[in-house]
Structure formats: structure tokens, C-alpha cells
Amino acid sequence: MKPGIFVASLAIFAACNSEPQKSNTDLPAAPAVPEPRSISYQLINAYPHDTAAFTQGFELYQGKLVESTGLVGRSSLRKVDYKSGKLLTRKDIGQPYFTEGITILNDTLYQLTWENKVVFVYNARNFAPIREITWSGQGWGLTNDGTNLYISDGSDKIYVVRPQDLKLQKVISVTDNMGPVNNLNELEWVNGKLLANRWQYDYIVQIDPASGFVTSRIDFTDFLVKNSRADLGYLRAPGSTGEQMGAVLNGIAYDSSTGHLLVTGKLWPHVFEIKLNQ
């Protein structure tokens, strides 16, 4: 190469490298998450609920309430006439299982276990066992959109899986305007949105499954105290299950015939029917 060409090449190289480099601030900003709006509600009715039921999963099926209860040695699957509180069917789940959320898809009932990495599958009509499927993580809440199942594990993630084998289809990261929203527990699919109890928080969040954004909150602060005439001392008695494990809000069932929700909590004396104002 001739000296003149070499000098010219250096000049071009220097000019190219003198262009300003794009910083992280030049990259497209992540979409801002709007602050969730507040949804109010009307209390329609209160129905009796078994105060020994450590509610984990809640679902309406053919007009009856199907409930999964937890704790090792006390786990169960139940079908209840929720208006009277009458127990219709009960299947006890023995040790070492701690059962969690449930959902029913095409007359098939799926029941999570907390740390046992097993999902029990039943005939929803009579609770006859069909099979068991292995799930790799913890099981907290469970629902479905008519095609896929949605599983929460206590984090800010919701896992969308195929019902036949729990093969992962998608992970939804749930956020609000303050950041990731963890402790997601019992789930319910309502008109294209996810409703979730947030463990140890007195509200239910509404989640857009497409974005993962929390779009709304339903506040249940002091709800049980304000709306129950029952003596609630048993929930706070020293050494009781309620005092040790937390008698927290947990349980959402959607009644498509009325558009109302049935909500309860672990060991609560009532199932409450509410109508959302939205």
C-alpha cells in the first residue's frame, strides 16, 4: 500500500470511530405501567363456610362449589352446595400432600400440590382419579382460559401450560406501576382477564394476561370483620391454625350466570357473593 493511501485510510477509520455511540438512554424505553384503578363492589349475600377448610382452590362447576383445602394431613377436595354450606362430596388427600389450587376444564379437574411436584387429575363429576402429572415447581393457584392452564407459584410469574402434559407455552411476568408483583396465589379467569389473590395482602388484583400488567385492584381490607356477625376469636386464638398459618383472604370463584364472584378466606366462616362495579 502506498503511504498516501495508508494515511487516507487511517483518516477514514478515525472518522468512523469518532461517531457518537448509542447509550442505553437512546434505546426504546420499556412501556410505562399505569397505576391500577380501584374497583368497588356490592355485597350481595353471605353463605356458610366450613371454618376448618384451609381454602386453597375455589371453583364453581354445574352450580356447585368445588373447593381444594390445604395443610398436610388435612388436605381435601370437596363439592359443596354453597348456599346452604352442605357438603355433597369429599375426597381426603393423605400425607405427605399439601393440596393447593384447582381448575376444571372439559369436565376434567386439576388439583395442584404445594411442594410435592404432583398435579392430580380427576373426573370433575365424581372425583374419580384419572392420572397424575409431574410439575417441576411449587403449585399455588390454578385456572384456565378454555384451552390452557395457568399456574402461579408464589412469585411474580404465571405459567401458561398445556393441560395434557403441562408443557410450558408462555410465562407471564406480572407487574404494576411499582414493579414486579409477587405472592400471586389463587387464580380465576374472568372474561379474558386473570384475577389473583395476593397472599398476605387484603386485595385481589386483575391482570391483563397479554401484558402482565395489573390493571385493577379490589380492596378487601377488614372485609371479614365488617361483614360477619360470627365470633372470629377462633382465628386469633393462640396456637390455633388461624393464628399460626394465617386466616387470609384466599378463594375466588366466578359465576358466569350472574356475573358475580364468590370470595372467601382460609378458615373463614362465610363465602361472600359480590358484584363488581365496573
Structural domain of residue 202, as residue ranges? 49-277
In a domain, 33, yes or no: no
Within-domain flag for 202: yes
Using the predicted structure, report yes or no on whether residue 83 has a pLDDT greater than 70: yes
Between strands 184-190 and 179-180, the pairing is: unpaired
Q: Taking Cα atoms as reference points, which of 172, 201, 208, 195 lies closest to residue 254?
A: 195
* pLDDT tens-digit map of 208-229: 999 999 999 999 999 999 999 9
Pairing of strands 157-161, 168-173: antiparallel
Q: Is the pLDDT of residue 7 over 70?
A: no
pLDDT digits (tens, 9 = 90+) for 143-200: 999 999 999 999 999 999 999 999 999 999 999 999 999 999 999 999 999 999 999 9
Q: Which pLDDT score is estimated for 32?
A: 86
Prediction pTM value: 0.88
Residue 148 maps to a domain: yes
Q: What region does 192 belong to: left with phi over 0, alpha with psi -120 to 50, or beta?
A: left
Evaluate whether residue 85 is within a structural domain: yes
Q: Is the pLDDT of residue 206 over 60?
A: yes
Residue with the bigger pLDDT between 141 and 6: it is 141
Give percent of the chain above pLDDT 90: 88
Higher local confidence (pLDDT), 68 or 33 = 68
Query: How many structural domains are present in the chain?
Result: 1
Phi, psi of 221 (to 5 degrees): -55, 125
- Strands 214-219 and 37-38, bridge-based pairing: parallel
201 within domain boundaries: yes
Mean pLDDT over 59-76 rounds to 97
Q: What average pLDDT does the segment 1-24 reach?
A: 41
Q: Which of 7-11, 47-51, 148-152 has the lowest mean pLDDT?
A: 7-11
pLDDT band at 123 (very low <50, low <70, confident <90, very high): very high
Is 203 part of any domain?
Answer: yes
What confidence tens digit (pLDDT) does each residue in 16-28 have? 444 444 444 454 5
Q: What is the pLDDT of residue 28?
A: 55
Domain with residue 113: its CATH number is 2.120.10.30
Which residue type does 66 have?
A: V
Higher-pLDDT residue of 14, 41: 41
45 pLDDT exceeds 70? yes
Residue 20 inside a domain? The answer is no
118 within a domain of the structure (yes/no): yes
